[in-house]
Chain A
Amino acid sequence: MATTTDELRIAEIPTGIDIDPVTLDIIEGALKSARYEMDAVLFRSAMSPVIREQHDEFPMITDPRGRMVVGQFGAYINEMMEDWDQGIYEGDVILCADPFKCSASISHTNDWLVLVPIFHSGELVGWSSQFGHMMDVGGRLPGSLPTNAKTIYDEGLIIPPIKVVERGEIQKPVLSLILNNMRNAAMNRADLFALIAGCRSGEKRVQELCDRFGKETYLVALQALLDRTYAAMKQLINWAIPETPQSFEDYVDDDGLGNGPFKMKLTIWREGDHAFFDWSGTDPQAMGPVNFYLSEGMFKMFIGIYLIMVNDPQILFNDGFYPLLHIILPEGCLLRPRFPSALGCRTHALARMFDVLGGALCKQAPEINTAAGYGTSPYMLYSGWGEKGDFFFAMEILYGGIPGRPIGDGMDGHSWWPLFENIPTEYLEAYYPLRIDGYTTITDSGGPGLHRGGNGVEKRYIYLEPGQVSIHDDRWLTRPWGVLGGLPGGRSEKILKRADGTEERLPSKCDEIEVVPGDMLVYRTAGGGGWKDRLDRPIEVVVKDVSYGLVSSDYAKEGYGVVINADGSADEAATAKERERQRTERGDALAFDYGPPLAEVLANCKAETGLEPPIPAVPLRWSPLEPGDEAQLRVRLADNMPGDIVTA
């Protein structure tokens, strides 16, 4: 990294020293505990319910070279510090909230990323870092995520890497400039210091490990852990990635400005021990804020996690395998948008990326072959001024149907994001002018399958003060697909039932919806797709779903061929007949079932959803799409991977 500091000494990783396997495993365990401790410290002291209750935050510890040794999203230190010229000292804390200045390690301005250099006996031995979603970072709308943003300048304060603490001294002017732009400065301040407290605990643990084992041993262990993951991934790549290119595509429905749907296409193939992941064929970037600036490192991490999850889930996820993966992202596509594109509502494309990745990997690796889920991060935001003139701002992330899985049904109304939780109704009602009329899952919204897709969520918000509401959701148009004979899950929808008795459909992405006391928003998220043949689902399991109210009797017959008697039991003879009839009618089960073809979906859009269909997007003049073969050549050169250009 470029630094002008004359003092910074970066610890060298010693070579030629062997580490005994037991010490290695001990250091691995200690790093894992350190990472969970970082979480625990943050949750207990943060204020924003999005971090604390919903756990929208991600910790990491790196080696001296900035490679992640434990964490979730992969390292970003080197890209971030490339142009750094303000020195790095013990006690520093660097803050960043600019996706374009950290290689997209954070993907919108709401994520505040904190970086703490870790020193031991005067040398830099690593970094501890954590980022979390701030409730608000200023700008035009509370929440800083306008659904009609056209550039990043609509999305609140853009903070380049900057020191908020230098050598232990809080930089008050910097902090004051930042917090002056926030609607609820106290909350941002608390959450920032909570992030710092989390990083400090990681720092402390690393220093203790250096004390205990000696700095050299510690560093050798880090390299060995990276090597271990490298070796493991090499095997997995050979096992899971085919040499023949294999493609999968899916869509983000719209961009909040009426454009869409946006195709995302991934082609994967293997050359020796190396794997290529090529996003050519993905649509150009959107005018609206649904662009997802995909960090290469983060994407490599996602691939690794998918592959490793089914093998040795105890393994420490780290950057070790990065050199084995080559990511092709054409400049100007939805996943590699150019500055200054709007990025706020990137969770739809982020979630879809996993659907596409899973789809592309799945033929070769049946163990990780799951269906698609609710496929986004549905938000509800509500703000206004209360009776006494006090500003209020509530924000909640909702969940939906988890895909049907090899291990069993998809969970109903659960979070697809790891460790996220819902906000207690009693918390919402105690602090905001809201009443929750009901919080449940939507009967029949899970895609039928041998293993059923999870049901989507229905949450009914009654607003008690005049204010404005925003909604962010997707999968209102295209369906979460099912696999190997499973059907797609149900789509999302929003109905605003006005206090005056009228009712309207709201789009899945909208802002500044004026509400008055007594208005009720019925927020329904999408279900998950089913896994394997729905007509093979054991009859008693369907009967149980019906008795639980998760599947209706009618849908038991339509979706599973199970005929339910008036007393709730199954009519076995009628069921056998019905299943036989449906099997004949259907023929072979589909490998992927998306529901009706896209053209038909668009044609029926208004009739089925009450909303106008999106219009195909026009490429932006200021961001032409880089052709796929040029992008591939660029990556082959940069990664030193000569070879012919491969096309899907």
Chain B
Amino acid sequence: MAYRLGVDVGGTFTDLFLVNDDDGTQHRVKTPSTPSDPSEGVLTGLTRMCETAGISPSDLRNIMHGTTVATNAVLEGKGARVGLITTQGFSQILHLARSQTPGPLAGWIIMQKPEPPASLADTREAVERMGPRGETVVAVDEAQVEQIVKDLVESGVESLTVGLINSYISNKHEKQIGAIVERLYPDFPVTLSSDVVPEFREYERTLTACMNSYVRPQVQAYVDRLDVELKAAGATCDVNILRSDAGLMTTREAGRNPIYGVLSGPSGGVAGALYVSTRAGFPNILTFDMGGTSTDVALCQNGEPTIGRDTTIGQFRLKVPSINVHTVGAGGGSIAHVPELTKALRVGPQSAGAEPGPAAYGKGGVEPTVTDANVAVGHLPSSLLGGEMKLDVEASRTSVQTIGDAIGLELDAAAEGILKIVNENMAGALRLVSVQRGYDPRDFALVAFGGAGPLHANAVAELMGSFPVIVPPSPGLLCAVGDLVAEFRNEFAQTIVKPIEEADPAEVKAVLDDLGTRAQDWMTSEGIAAGDQRVTYLADMRYVLQGYEIPVTVDIAQVQAGNIAQLGDQFDTLHEQLYGFKMDDAAREIVNLRCIGNGAVPKIQLPSGEVKANDASDAILQDHEIVFDGKRIPAKIYDRSKMTPGAKFNGPAIVTEFDSTTVVLPGYVAEMDEFYNILINPQA
């Protein structure tokens, strides 16, 4: 028997999802997360899972794991003490950052500058200088470097970063300094900026490398502990960690370059959503993952996520390949308020969090939240099926009434207003990943998951014109599904910065071949069979003197035949598509060449059932009432677990299940497909 286990450690719950590759049977387990040592929760879950499935840990062939250890270390500012070695004259690189203050004008008055991952007291300048063509201007002064390395390590830093000017074009000096550290302090964690991000812009590269050092000891300790404890429990298989670009990496790689997994959590959700939607026949989707404090959205086309070159976490912009997930501070716990000065209705970004939580939870919260508005309009019935708590409807209504009083609206209108504002905020995030990048959201389906996604998805889809809404079974567990379906992935890049007219096709070919070889070697070393290996090539291009690049897919056969001119035409087309113009008199420049290695993993089979048309009346739990357009109208509450493929029913309807509630609005029709997804569409 071959079992695979997906494990997603979230802020509140650790979700586990087990699949038997031989017969497709599956099991789910949900257990509280243990933030002080997340591996405890994983072990607890694993033990329960083995009991439930009647297997032993040694039956597991793979464990795929999404973790927020790195994310939390950054967000909570609880990483390691990092020492930084810079080029002489640049010790204040992180302190100066990009010198930016926020808008609008006078935004500096209220700016809060975050502490960088390496403090100025722990930063030293190395005597060395690399030129912009990879030529040594000043050689590394080994004696001086030994001195500063000793100085830093003896002073108690836990992790080192080497970030030198122009190391993107030649990493010679960084390697040399790395070797000195290794000689003086074997096995001391050291991160070279050219290893983590071999691309230009010294601040972003150094920052990213320092963040890697910052989270490294913690992630290393975590994966080591996890390995040990899993072995002790009897598991013999490998553990793989999900990267921010929804690829997998080994725990060894995760311990060395943990920053690649800084958005491991959200990327699991996107991978899961893509799997579900592609199977249902919708390869173009917007993902909509709404939780308690924030909502993550992403766009995927042709069954592939869009992967960006950078990501923002907290106040830091990091250069790591990541799924273009956009996060907005709007969730079930977001607090509605009315500023005295303008009397405008604002929702969030402040959140009631888990404590005290929405008024409805009866844990002492009194401020009106999005959840309370949902309760007030009837979208969240007072007792949730399988829910652990009964919702305090009166408390919700009282809290929402305060908004009504402040803005001069009746209770129902105030509650609907809160929902409309928060839906609009989330639609704004979806617009950012779609229309602002040149995609028409009407060509995309909306996949809703997370605790609150299915509650709001219908309304948000209406704003975006994105149908159908797809609500997968157990929407709260989708991240763990994503961990299971992710492929191995790694990127290899080389910066060249050359106008295409001046680039030597033979050189381009040589660089790409080298990158391709490295990708294949990496996959082979990860134990991926030759038949499961896939290699794709990209060129990041721009017009000379532009500062942002557009990735252009490289047809490797053309390059091998000596043709690179077509890359320029492809770039022109993309530029015109994105920005509405192309330039005939500007040189087109190749900035980076990249190669992505993907190692396929066997696909899991989630259950399906025979579609038999029915009206879902067997699944009706009770009659209900919701507020819609200022009126109270009758609605039905359904039990999703009693629904069968082919069930079709009209809104208004509320569908409840173990970990989520789905709202179907008036004027819409919902249908359960053969994979137990609920698809919501406008009525004909």
Binding site for B on A (CB under 8 A): 21-22, 24-26, 28-30, 33, 37, 40-41, 43-49, 52-53, 72, 185-187, 189-190, 193-194, 196-197, 200-201, 228, 231-232, 235-236, 301-302, 305-306, 309-315, 317, 354, 368, 370, 399, 402, 405-408, 411-422, 424-427, 429-431, 435-441, 457, 460, 547-550
Contact = CB atoms under 8 A, between A and B. Distances in A.
B91 interface: yes
B334 to A, nearest CB: 14
Interface string B395-435: 00000000000011100000011001100110010011000
Contacts of B408: 21
A309 B107 contact: yes
A207 B684 CA distance: 27
Contacts of B421: 22, 25-26, 29
Contact of A416 (B101, B200, B343, B428): B101
B545 A440 contact: no
B119 to A, nearest CB: 7
A402 B344 CA distance: 32
A459 to B, nearest CB: 10
Given A22-B421, A232-B341, A436-B89, A418 B109 contact: no
B161 to A, nearest CB: 17
Interface residues of B, number: 73
B90 A439 contact: yes
Interface stretch (B259-267, B473-481, B580-588, B620-628): B580-588
B166 A72 contact: no
21 contacts: A33-B432, A52-B546, A52-B547, A52-B548, A189-B585, A193-B583, A235-B341, A305-B106, A354-B106, A402-B108, A412-B92, A412-B95, A414-B108, A418-B103, A418-B107, A424-B202, A425-B165, A429-B165, A435-B131, A436-B89, A441-B92
Contact of B100 (A368, A408, A421): A421
Interface in B155-210: 165-166, 168, 200-203
B545 A187 contact: yes
B96 interface: yes
Given A22-B417, A430-B497, A189 B96 contact: no
Contact of B425 (A29, A315, A438, A439): A29
Contacts of B586: 47, 186, 190
B345 A21 contact: yes
A629 B121 CA distance: 57
A536 B545 CA distance: 49
Contact of B200 (A41, A231, A302, A430): A430
A376 to B, nearest CB: 15
B132 interface: yes
A434 B157 CA distance: 35
A439 B90 CA distance: 6
Contacts of A415: 99-101, 108
Contact of A440 (B89, B165, B344, B436): B89
Nearest to B132: A429
A309 B110 contact: yes
Interface in B104-126: 104-113, 119-121
Contact of B105 (A305, A414, A549): A305
Contacts of A189: 583, 585
Given A419-B100, A424-B202, A28 B344 contact: yes
Nearest to B463: A212
A44 B578 contact: yes
B105 A72 contact: yes
Nearest to B346: A314
B134 to A, nearest CB: 11
Given A21-B409, A25-B345, A426-B201, A402 B101 contact: yes
Given A33-B432, A189-B585, A416-B101, A228 B110 contact: no
A317 B105 CA distance: 11
B88 interface: yes
A526 to B, nearest CB: 15
Contacts of B342: 228, 231-232, 312, 315
A437 B89 contact: yes
A419 B166 CA distance: 25
A354 to B, nearest CB: 8
B609 interface: no
Nearest to A37: B436
A60 to B, nearest CB: 12
A41 B113 CA distance: 26
Contacts of A33: 428, 431-432
B345 A22 contact: yes
B438 to A, nearest CB: 10
Contacts of B99: 399, 413-415, 420-422
Contacts of A228: 342-344
A538 to B, nearest CB: 17
Contacts of A235: 341
Contacts of B92: 412-413, 439-441
A309 B545 contact: no
B611 to A, nearest CB: 36
Contact of B96 (A24, A354, A406, A439): A439
Contacts of B420: 22, 26
B121 A547 contact: yes
Given A411-B113, A441-B95, A311 B417 contact: no
A411 B106 contact: no
